[in-house]
Copies of this chain bind each other. A is one copy, B any other.
């Protein structure tokens, strides 16, 4: 870099797990850090499916960025949308004309759902990336039961009580399980004409296997738990179309009130901003120290990066990968600035890959053949997730809500609000 300013300006784009960890590692160090995000909060995305299924409120899993970094006076927070990066001039352009000059730039803008060329499907099948997504799904599901209660047409009732989840990765499995539990337990006795326990939840997967990242025995266990919850798992079934009425699967239209997309992600347009080549999923290949080859002082983290593991395979798009990378880079940059030491290579330490299927049922894969499943895995899952929630009061509130929900089968956030809340009463 040959940076001659006493305090280099480090701009971090995105305050997800990677960007936030990087900023925090630079807190109090000899650098002026600017953390840019289009939202004013850090969102704990792994629990977003619980907002979509009325178990938690958005504020339970979102924390104001300013609050998190408040005590670090060298970190500046900017609410803004990136529109471009001028690499030679070394500045980031934000919507509205504002520019941020940088000496070092960290891209951690995450990923969005990939509809594989069918962007029109997004309206009918929201993914699980934003609070608005989750609220939309919650409203659709709950509204479906309300409308089913009001109609006497059995075919309409069935469609209104049907949810299709596309993609059987961890998110798909988790949300399918949660919707089934919402219908079977929470709503079971709330209606007079319909029986919510007869609600259908379909988990449709184009490939021959669900939870591809997990070993066979854990997948078999997850499948058995989903079966017990009444989730219909359809492997080797391709979704060919998604419309307002439902999804076309292998040539047949399955009518459904709610379709949820969890089939694949695409990195944010960071590669376009930098003018570099991306891989098939839009990710920017980085060197072991997380920098972009040929662009000194520019780094890419988390879902936006393609980082090779020990076997040359790219690391998966997991929160723990993003967080470890952010922390690694933040520490490395702080040391480089203070001592001139070169950036060490990043090494991923697998903390365990996990998915939750429902009450008392989760799976953990710690690698090297060490697995955990069932109640113990579920308890560990809950402890880990509560621990990872940033703020202390949220940890307690979420713990309390979960405990209460566990004991009563109730859910606290069953609100039909916002977009679509008022439409279509039959």
Q: Could you tell me how many residues of chain A have their Cβ less than 8 Å away from some Cβ of chain B?
A: 59
* Any B CB within 8 A of the CB of A351: no
Q: Mark A396-426, 1 if CB is under 8 A from B, else 0.
A: 1100110010001010111111100110111
Q: Which residue of B lies closest to A59 (CB)?
A: B413
Known: A59-B413, A425-B81. A190 touches B41 (CB 8 A): no
Q: Which residue of B lies closest to A41 (CB)?
A: B415
B residues near A412, Cβ cutoff 8 Å: 59, 393-394, 397
B residues near A132, Cβ cutoff 8 Å: 417-418
The answer to whether A425 and B67 touch across the interface, beta carbons within 8 angstroms, is no
The answer to whether B146 and A416 touch across the interface, beta carbons within 8 angstroms, is no
The answer to whether B150 and A425 touch across the interface, beta carbons within 8 angstroms, is no
The answer to whether A58 and B410 touch across the interface, beta carbons within 8 angstroms, is no
Given B41, B73, B95, which contacts A414 in the complex, CB threshold below 8 Å?
A: B41
Q: Which residue of B lies closest to A189 (CB)?
A: B70
Given B41, B393, B410, B416, which contacts A393 in the complex, CB threshold below 8 Å?
A: B410
The answer to whether B414 and A40 touch across the interface, beta carbons within 8 angstroms, is yes
Q: How far is the CA of A214 from the CA of B40 in the complex (A)?
A: 39
Given B38, B62, B78, which contacts A422 in the complex, CB threshold below 8 Å?
A: B38
Closest Cβ of chain B: how far from A36's Cβ, in Å? 11
Q: Mark A186-200, 1 if CB is under 8 A from B, else 0.
A: 010111100000000
Q: How far is the CA of A64 from the CA of B189 in the complex (A)?
A: 13
Q: Which residue of B lies closest to A81 (CB)?
A: B425
The answer to whether A142 and B40 touch across the interface, beta carbons within 8 angstroms, is yes
A64-B415, A66-B187, A80-B425 given; name 14 further pairs at CB < 8 Å.
A40-B143, A40-B414, A41-B414, A58-B415, A70-B190, A94-B425, A96-B426, A98-B425, A98-B426, A393-B401, A393-B410, A394-B412, A396-B400, A400-B400
